[in-house]
Amino acid sequence: MLLPQLRRRDATRRLEGKCLSNPPANAAIMEPPGAPTTPADTEGPLAMAKSSAVPHADRIAKTDAEWRAQLTPEQYYVTRQHGTERAGTSPLNKEKRAGLFTCVCCGESLFASRAKFDSGTGWPSFDKPADGAAVSEHEDQALFMRRTEVRCSRCEAHLGHVFPDGPRETTGLRYCINGAALKFKPDDT
């Protein structure tokens, strides 16, 4: 079957920067062009950005061989090949301590534990990033769906996707993140 080979090829091209004008084919629900994307411009839940790639001052770029040497096969598959771990397999799903969830690739602080909630999906879920610039969002149209992909803004690691079905009392967003893309650093208390 060619689908896995095509997905691998497309992921490699995205990582090499050759498909920037042709976004990946697995995307989330997007607002129309010109729709408000900041809390001040919206009522209710935050709108999702079409692309929020912000240049990171401390950008990390490594070769494919360097990423393979640093990461486990599952971490590499998820973060560098835009894969997805099986639902319910991450021990971080049950993590309840206070602390920070960081990028497994570069150590960037991505999500605070106070933003974590149980979505019942089988993946760690958060209602907002630790810092607005910690993650970037990209249109993703793979698997014949429109979704919003979430990446680490420092190293471009694929983290997961963001959906507009999170807790209404906070942001209304659900950052559905692969546990294999995260490390947990407990608070020193």
The set of catalytic residues is 176
Cα distances from 87 to residues 109, 124, 132, 185, in angstroms, run: 23, 9, 26, 22
CA end-to-end distance (rounded Å), the chain:
52
Which DSSP category does 9 fall into? Answer: H
Q: Is the dihedral of CA 10, 13, 17, 19 positive or negative?
A: negative
> In angstroms, rounded to a whole number, what is the distance separating the alpha carbons of residues 90 and 179?
5
Token digits of residue 68: 């393979």
Cα 154 to Cα 45, 55, 56, 136, 168, distances in angstroms: 26, 8, 6, 9, 29
